[in-house]
Structure 1
Amino acid sequence: MHAGDAQVIWLHRQAPPKPVAGQACNGCGVCCATEPCPVASVFLWQYRGSCRALIWAPDAGRYLCGMLTQPARYLRWLPQRGEAWFSRRLARWIAAETVCDSTVSAELQAEPASSQAENFPK
């Protein structure tokens, strides 16, 4: 993307707001919804768009990385007994859940008027 270009990403309504870069990660999902991380690029061969391993965790009220929580779901070749070991390596590689390293500016936008109108009784 070029400077001044806007990208629209869709996140769960209850997702926490994006923290300022350098603050603690809160699972807002903005970074992974904006672009795939190195893990997604290497293991999922995904280079653009929202990461397909981004998972909404309703009980936690935050987003989680499916490659960290259930890597065998995405990597059929990975035996389940190797998941914990693999997850620890990936988490360390991308410094998962440490601090926010996304410099993306995220703004909450209202739903388009057409979808709001559909929610009103007639």
Structure 2
Amino acid sequence: MKEGWQTITIHAQAPAKPPTGEVCNGCGVCCAAEPCPVSLALLWPHQMPCRALIWSDTELRYFCGMVTRPAQFLRWLPQGWNAVASRLFKRWIAADTRCDADVEAA
């Protein structure tokens, strides 16, 4: 393996990583390669891929579980706070906006 490279595992049907700056397509490369600020702050122990990375068989893409169902990953979070936490986390990590993963997928 080349120096500075890491191997990540993603679903075989995941879309290809878009170029940096293009619209997010749910490829999952970013969350499989390194933890986001939400993961670093709230999900312990840190692991790669992020344990909140969720594959959708129906949409053939990944979603952030901290955005779609945060109480599942934060057991201390009341279910009634899911919507508020979801909006906060989505904004914090700019989920589903533009690809900001400075990662080259081969």
Residue identity opposite 2:34 in structure 1: E
Residue identity opposite 1:45 in structure 2: W
- Partner of 1:56: helix, strand, or coil? strand
Equivalent residue, structure 2, for 1:63: 62
Of structures 1 and 2, the one with the larger relative CO (CA 8 A, separation 6+) is: 2
1:18-37 maps to which residues of 2 (within 5 A)?
18-37=17-36
CA contact (8 A) 1:36 1:46 kept: no
Cα separation, partners in 2 of 1:102 and 1:85, compared to 1, 3 Å: same
Question: In structure 2, what is the Cα distance between the partners aligned to 1:4 and 1:105?
Answer: 14
Residue identity opposite 2:15 in structure 1: P
Question: In structure 1, what is the Cα distance between the partners aligned to 2:74 and 2:46?
Answer: 17
Equivalent residue, structure 2, for 1:94: 93
Question: In structure 1, what is the Cα distance between the partners aligned to 2:18 and 2:82?
Answer: 29
1:5-24 maps to which residues of 2 (within 5 A)?
5-24=4-23
**Gaps spanning 5+ residues in structure 1: where?**
108-122
Percent sequence identity is 55
- Partner of 1:78: helix, strand, or coil? coil
Question: In structure 2, what is the Cα distance between the partners aligned to 1:12 and 1:104?
Answer: 17
**TM-score under structure 1 normalisation?**
0.81
CA contact (8 A) 1:57 1:64 kept: yes
| Alignment deviations for residues 43-80 of structure 1 (CA, whole Å, 9 cap, x no partner) | 10344521111010111110000111111111111111
**Gaps spanning 5+ residues in structure 2: where?**
none
Instruction: Give the superposed CA RMSD.
Output: 1.3
Question: In structure 2, what is the Cα distance between the partners aligned to 1:48 and 1:78?
Answer: 21
CA contact (8 A) 1:35 1:47 kept: no
Question: In structure 2, what is the Cα distance between the partners aligned to 1:88 and 1:5?
Answer: 34
Residue identity opposite 2:71 in structure 1: A
